[in-house]
């Protein structure tokens, strides 16, 4: 590890004005975002490769809606078991 470099960088960063520190933080964050985006593209390519180039064909909004409905029903059944029993008796 290059401790002399780290010490020098720490001195430089501590000498920055608030505006300069904000700009530095923005640059660091921007770089992290770019790395995350690049990683996302790599994962997307792997998925497409695994699926033979065929993209996912689904309505994400509908899928989320269905999952919420299922979870709501699970919670209702857990909180009010007598209601779910009477529903099953009505259907049967």
pLDDT tens digit string along 8-37? Answer: 999 999 999 999 999 999 988 888 899 999
pLDDT band at 83 (very low <50, low <70, confident <90, very high): confident
- 45 and 20 within one domain: yes
| Phi and psi, residue 72, nearest 5° | -60, -40
- 51 and 92 within one domain: no
- 47 and 7 within one domain: yes
pLDDT band at 62 (very low <50, low <70, confident <90, very high): very high
Residue 87's pLDDT is 65
Task: Domain count for the chain, please give it.
Answer: 2
Which range marks the domain in which residue 84 is found?
A: 58-92
CA-CA distance, 57 to 63, in Å (whole number)? 12
- 36 and 46 within one domain: yes
Q: What is the pTM of this model?
A: 0.42
Terminal-residue alpha carbon distance, the chain: 72
């Amino acid at each position: 590890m290059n401790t002399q470099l780290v010490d020098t960088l720490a001195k430089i960063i501590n000498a920055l004005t608030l505006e300069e520190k904000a700009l530095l933080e923005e640059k660091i964050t921007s770089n992290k975002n770019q790395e995350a985006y690049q990683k996302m593209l790599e994962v997307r390519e792997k998925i497409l490769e695994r699926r033979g180039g065929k993209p996912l064909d689904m309505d994400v909004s509908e899928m989320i809606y269905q999952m919420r409905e299922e979870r709501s029903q699970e919670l209702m059944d857990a909180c009010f078991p007598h209601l779910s029993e009477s529903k099953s008796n009505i259907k049967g």
